[in-house]
Amino acid sequence: MVTDDSKRIDTRLVTGGRRKAWTGRLVSPPVERASTLIFDSVEQMRTSRPAPGTYVYGLQGTTSQWALREALADIDPGAAGVALASSGLAAVTTALLAVLQSGDELLMVDSAYIPTRQFCDGTLKKMGVTTRYYDPLASAEEVAALAGDRTRAIFLESPGSLSFEVQDVPGIAAMARDRGIVTLLDNTWATPLLFPAFAHGVDISILALTKHVGGHSDLLMGAISSTQSWADRVERTVFELGQSVSPDDAWLALRGLRTLGLRLKRHEASSLELARWLQDHPKVGAIRHPAFDGCPGHAYWRRDFAGSSGLFAFALKDANKAGRDAFVDRLRIFGLGYSWGGFESLAVPADPVRTATAPDFGGPLVRIHAGLEDPADLIADLDQAFAET
């Protein structure tokens, strides 16, 4: 995979994957729907290696999937390969299956996306892989103290997508590399624009493209980016598991990618405006926004991140879960739905699941995704929902 690190990121978002051989005279690659690709000869069939740019079989993609993979590699400095999976969750599970085998132990951050935990406690356990959960605020030394002879992998998610603790990713990654332990990061919140994972020492970085990259709440997809040491293994596992994304969905994800930089800036600005307003509200307790002082791990965010995105949470003071749920029900502009990262604002009750830690959130949490609406209207919506609490 050819990547171009010579241009700045906003330029690479626009140019990535637009090879003339794939696009012809179009700006974007065409959608080429195919399971079967016809070869000219047996010789060609035998010598065609599945790689972007070579028609082999639908599972290995056509122009829109190749272009998306190349464009994603182009914005993730240090990525030797990017593989696509049918959802963000499939990207997480496929990456874990690529690195783990029976008898191994996995250290999983206790703030992980809940379906990631379910995969560890379900399928991985059945395979004979033991998962131990660790505190998202653990130092590299504390994580090192948990690692044993069988520890093969450490999984990080920073910030956690319900409770927003920011981890010491470079510290933990450096410690892991010294010990021959592979690190995997769910980088969905930040994307490579705000947190270039490989520059911080991570081996495998996962994105739910469903969220910020898709950006329009109309597709499911995941990506696994890997360093040179892991790219072949990941690619082979993606193939063995039959992971596939449609050319149409890849085309939509690529369209979303072109405006990712602009959208992230707006999501960030709106989320900061909402969070500042909420911070001053008498009915609001802690603000869990990585850019805010009081957010656990905020110092790591300041040190390592180029900005924040639009997803954060806040605690409702003096409310029980029923009161919190009623507050969410009163919101009119904010939609109530799973996922995030689209153009539309969402609010959901957030109840993190924990095994190894028992953090005090200071009240039931509401998670907000600040969309692209005018933030003044979003604040007015929150205000009217509070008026009745």
Residues that bind ligand PLP in the complex, under the rule CB under 6 A: 87-89, 92, 113, 157, 161, 186, 188, 208, 210-211, 220, 222, 339
The single-letter DSSP state of residue 384 is H
Given the complex with ligand PLP, which of 105 and 157 has the nearer CB atom?
A: 157
CB of 36 to ligand PLP, least distance (A): 28
Distances (CA, A) of 3 to 49, 55, 72, 82, 205: 20, 20, 9, 11, 17
CA dist 349 and 365 (Å) reads: 6
* Strands 105-109 and 151-157, bridge-based pairing: parallel
Given the complex with ligand PLP, which of 227 and 309 has the nearer CB atom?
A: 309
CB of 292 to ligand PLP, least distance (A): 19
CB of 316 to ligand PLP, least distance (A): 22
Given the complex with ligand PLP, which of 148 and 337 has the nearer CB atom?
A: 337
Given the complex with ligand PLP, which of 161 and 271 has the nearer CB atom?
A: 161
Instruction: Decide if 283 contacts 316 (C-beta within 8 A).
Output: yes
CB of 214 to ligand PLP, least distance (A): 9
Given the complex with ligand PLP, which of 220 and 378 has the nearer CB atom?
A: 220
Please enumerate in sequence order all residues whose Cβ is within 8 A of that of 89, keeping only pairs 6 or more positions apart, or say none.
113, 115, 116, 119, 208, 222
CA dist 29 and 102 (Å) reads: 41
Instruction: Decide if 136 contacts 167 (C-beta within 8 A).
Output: yes
CB of 99 to ligand PLP, least distance (A): 17
R_g of the chain computed on alpha carbons: 21
CA dist 365 and 286 (Å) reads: 9
Q: Residue number with the shortest CB distance to ligand PLP?
A: 88
Give the residue among 101, 356, 94, 30 at the shortest CA–CA distance from 239. 94
Tokens standing for residue 139: 């130092």
CB of 96 to ligand PLP, least distance (A): 12
CB of 38 to ligand PLP, least distance (A): 33
CA dist 118 and 125 (Å) reads: 10
Position 169: which residue type?
V
Report phi then psi at 376, rounded to 5.
-65, -35
Environment class of 120 (CB within 10 Å of its CB; exposed 0-12, middle 13-18, buried 19+): buried
Given the complex with ligand PLP, which of 75 and 245 has the nearer CB atom?
A: 245
Given the complex with ligand PLP, which of 89 and 284 has the nearer CB atom?
A: 89
CB of 34 to ligand PLP, least distance (A): 24
Residue 191 pairs in a beta bridge with: none
Given the complex with ligand PLP, which of 100 and 319 has the nearer CB atom?
A: 100
